[in-house]
C-alpha cells in the first residue's frame, strides 16, 4: 500500500459536546504525538482513584483488536498495543473494573505504522490503523481461525487491495463548538460528543467534499444545527450514498422539522456547487433517539433513489435500503456464496433475510428458482422492483418471517435444495434454525457479519444433521476489527441400521 499524504487534512479542533463545553477523555489512550503515535496523559476516569504506571508486554489481541497484557496476575486490555510490544500503561480503577491506558511504547513492533488519519486516536471508528495491512490480515485470520476451530480450518481471508475510501454510505452529525460555530463530524466512542473532522479516510472522498460544502452553506443560509440537549435547531445529520459503479449520488438532509426555510435557494446553491448529485431528500426525525433516520421523507429533487451495479445486476437503492457498504468486497463475498451453493440451474433456493434482493437476484442466474423472504415490507417492494429492472423471471419475494415461511413449506411437502441466510449481527434464533432443520435443504450457505454469533448458530446446525464443509472469511471493513465469513453446511448422511448402509437424509 502506498503511503498517504496528510497535508490536506487539518488537525481536528478540540471536541465539544452539544452544550459547547469541552469533554474530558476517558478510557483507552487517545491523542497523538508526532507521527501519529499514541501518548498518555488522558484524564483518569475518577480523579479520586490513584493511577499506577506499570510496565507490561502484549501477549495477544482480543477479538476487538485490543492488546492483552498481564498485570499483578490480572489480564487487562490495552487499546492500540500490538503483540510483542513492551509499553508503559496507566492502570486505574473504574468502578469495579481496572482500566489500562497506553502511556508510552518502549519496544515497538515491526507491524506498527503511523495511522494516516489525523483523527484516529480520537474518533474510534477505526481500530486497526496503527497496524500494517499485513498485520491486520493476520489478526483477522487468527480471530476467525480461533472462533471457527470447532468446525474446521477456514480458508485464507480475502483482503482488499485498496483498503481506504471504500464506503459507499457515510453520515456526518452537526453541532456547535464553544464559539457557536457549526461543526460536523463523527461521535467519539460511546458518546454523543462530536469530533469535528473534514475527512474520513474510509468514506468516499466525494461524500466528505459534499458535507464540507453543506457545512459552509449552513452559515450563509443561517441554518442552525440541531442541539440534542435543548431540542432546538434544524439539521441533525447528513447521509450520503454513492453508487460506486454508476457514480450516482444521493444526499439526505436529516432535520428535526419539516419546515425548511430558504429551501429552494439552498437546493439551487447545492446543485450549482455539486452538479454530480443525482437526488436530494429531506428526512424528518423529531424523536429523541440515536436512530439517524425518521419516518417522514420528502424528495427535494431527483427520483429519491439511486442505482448501482453488483455482480452484473442493477439495484435501486433508497435512503433506508440495506445495501452492502463495501461493494468491492461484497462481490467477492457473494461470488463465494454462490460458488458454495453448487447451483446447476435446477435448484430451488430460499434466501432468508433477503433485503432488497441482492443475493437472490445474483443466485437466480444459476438456480432454477429463488424465493426471497424478508420482514421489512419496503425492502420487499425494492426487491420486486429490482427483479423487474433486471428482467429476472425465476424469483418470488414474500413479506414475512422466513422461519415461519420455511415451516409452512415443510408442512406442505415443499422442498428447498439450498437455503441462503445473511442475518443481522445478532445472528439467528433457535426458532429460525429449527425451521431450517425442518425444511432439510441439502445445503445451507450462511453469510455472517459476526463470526461469534455465526459460530453459535453453527453449533446448533451441526447438532441437528448438518456438517460444516467450508468457511471463507472476507475483510469487508479494512482498518476496523470487523470480519465477515461465509460458511457452507451440508446435510449429513445417516446410517440405515436395517440395511447396514449409508443413506442420505434428504
- CA separation for the pair 455, 465 (Å, rounded): 16
Contacts of 95 (CB under 8 A, 6+ apart): none
- CA separation for the pair 344, 301 (Å, rounded): 44
Buried b (16+ CB within 10 A) or exposed e, 406-416: bbebbeeeeeb
Q: Using the 8-state DSSP alphabet, how is residue 203 labeled?
A: B
| Residue 213 near residue 182 (C-beta atoms within 8 A) | no
- CA separation for the pair 345, 95 (Å, rounded): 60
Residue 324 in marked binding region: yes
284, β-bridge pairs: 255, 296
Q: Using the 8-state DSSP alphabet, how is residue 437 labeled?
A: H
Residue 422 in marked binding region: yes
Verify whether residue 449 is a known catalytic residue: yes
Q: How many CB atoms neighbour CB 367 within 10 A?
A: 25
Residue 401 in marked binding region: no
- CA separation for the pair 84, 91 (Å, rounded): 19
- CA separation for the pair 58, 82 (Å, rounded): 6
Residue 430 in marked binding region: no
CA angle (115, 116, 119) in 5-degree steps? 80
The whole-angstrom distance between residue 376's C-alpha and the CA centroid of its chain comes to 19
Q: How many CB atoms neighbour CB 136 within 10 A?
A: 26
- CA separation for the pair 194, 181 (Å, rounded): 13
The whole-angstrom distance between residue 157's C-alpha and the CA centroid of its chain comes to 17
Sort 322 into a burial class: Cβ within 10 Å, 0-12 / 13-18 / 19+: middle
The whole-angstrom distance between residue 145's C-alpha and the CA centroid of its chain comes to 21
Which residue from 328, 360, 319 is spatially nearest to 447, judged by alpha carbons? 360
User: Residues comprising the binding site?
Assistant: 324, 353, 374, 422
Binding residues for S-adenosyl-L-methionine: 324, 353, 374, 422
The catalytic residue positions are 449
Amino acid at each position: 500500500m502506498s503511503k498517504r499524504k496528510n497535508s490536506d487534512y487539518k488537525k481536528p479542533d478540540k471536541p465539544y459536546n452539544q452544550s459547547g463545553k469541552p469533554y474530558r477523555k476517558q478510557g483507552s489512550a487517545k491523542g497523538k504525538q508526532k507521527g501519529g503515535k499514541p501518548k498518555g496523559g488522558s484524564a483518569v476516569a475518577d480523579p479520586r482513584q490513584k493511577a499506577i504506571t506499570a510496565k507490561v508486554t502484549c501477549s495477544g489481541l482480543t477479538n476487538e483488536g485490543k492488546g492483552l497484557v498481564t498485570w499483578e496476575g490480572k489480564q487487562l486490555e490495552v487499546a492500540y498495543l500490538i503483540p510483542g510490544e513492551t509499553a508503559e500503561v496507566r492502570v486505574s480503577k473504574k468502578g469495579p473494573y481496572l482500566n489500562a491506558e497506553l502511556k508510552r511504547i518502549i519496544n515497538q513492533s515491526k507491524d506498527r505504522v503511523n495511522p494516516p488519519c489525523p483523527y484516529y486516536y480520537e474518533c474510534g471508528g477505526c481500530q486497526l490503523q496503527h497496524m500494517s495491512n499485513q498485520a491486520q490480515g493476520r489478526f483477522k485470520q487468527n480471530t476467525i481461525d480461533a472462533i471457527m476451530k470447532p468446525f474446521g480450518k477456514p480458508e485464507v481471508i480475502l483482503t482488499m487491495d485498496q483498503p481506504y475510501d471504500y464506503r459507499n454510505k457515510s453520515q456526518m452529525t452537526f453541532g456547535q463548538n464553544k464559539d457557536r460555530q457549526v461543526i460536523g463530524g463523527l461521535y467519539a466512542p460511546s458518546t454523543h460528543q462530536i469530533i469535528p473532522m473534514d475527512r474520513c479516510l474510509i468514506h468516499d472522498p466525494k461524500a466528505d467534499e459534499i458535507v464540507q460544502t453543506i457545512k459552509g452553506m449552513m452559515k450563509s443560509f443561517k441554518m442552525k444545527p440541531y442541539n440534542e440537549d435543548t431540542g432546538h435547531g434544524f439539521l441533525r445529520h447528513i447521509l450520503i450514498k454513492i453508487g460506486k459503479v454508476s457514480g450516482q449520488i444521493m444526499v439526505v438532509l436529516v432535520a428535526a422539522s419539516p419546515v425548511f426555510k430558504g429551501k429552494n435557494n439552498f437546493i439551487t446553491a447545492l446543485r450549482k456547487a455539486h452538479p454530480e448529485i443525482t437526488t436530494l431528500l429531506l428526512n424528518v426525525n423529531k424523536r429523541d433517539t440515536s436512530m439517524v433516520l425518521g419516518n417522514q421523507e420528502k424528495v427535494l429533487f431527483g427520483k429519491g433513489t439511486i442505482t448501482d451495479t453488483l455482480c452484473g445486476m442493477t439495484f435501486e437503492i433508497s435512503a433506508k435500503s440495506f445495501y452492502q457498504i463495501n461493494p468491492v468486497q461484497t462481490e467477492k463475498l457473494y461470488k463465494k456464496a454462490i460458488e458454495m451453493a453448487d447451483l446447476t440451474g435446477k435448484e430451488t433456493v430460499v434466501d432468508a433475510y433477503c433485503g432488497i434482493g441482492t443475493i437472490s437476484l445474483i443466485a437466480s442466474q444459476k438456480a432454477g428458482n429463488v424465493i426471497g423472504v424478508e420482514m421489512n415490507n419496503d425492502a420487499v417492494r425494492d426487491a420486486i422492483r429490482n427483479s423487474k429492472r433486471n428482467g429476472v423471471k425465476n424469483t418470488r419475494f414474500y413479506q414475512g418471517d422466513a422461519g415461519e415461511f420455511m415451516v409452512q413449506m415443510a408442512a406442505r411437502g415443499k422442498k428447498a435444495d439450498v437455503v441462503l441466510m445473511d442475518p443481522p449481527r445478532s445472528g439467528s434464533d433457535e426458532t429460525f434454525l429449527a425451521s431450517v432443520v425442518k425444511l432439510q435443504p441439502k445445503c445451507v450457505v450462511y453469510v455472517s457479519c459476526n463470526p461469534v454469533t455465526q459460530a453459535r448458530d453453527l453449533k446448533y446446525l451441526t447438532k441437528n444433521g448438518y456438517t460444516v464443509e467450508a468457511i471463507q472469511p472476507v475483510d469487508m471493513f479494512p482498518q476496523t476489527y470487523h470480519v465477515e465469513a461465509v460458511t457452507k453446511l451440508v446435510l449429513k448422511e445417516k446410517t440405515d441400521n436395517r440395511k447396514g448402509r449409508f443413506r442420505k437424509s434428504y
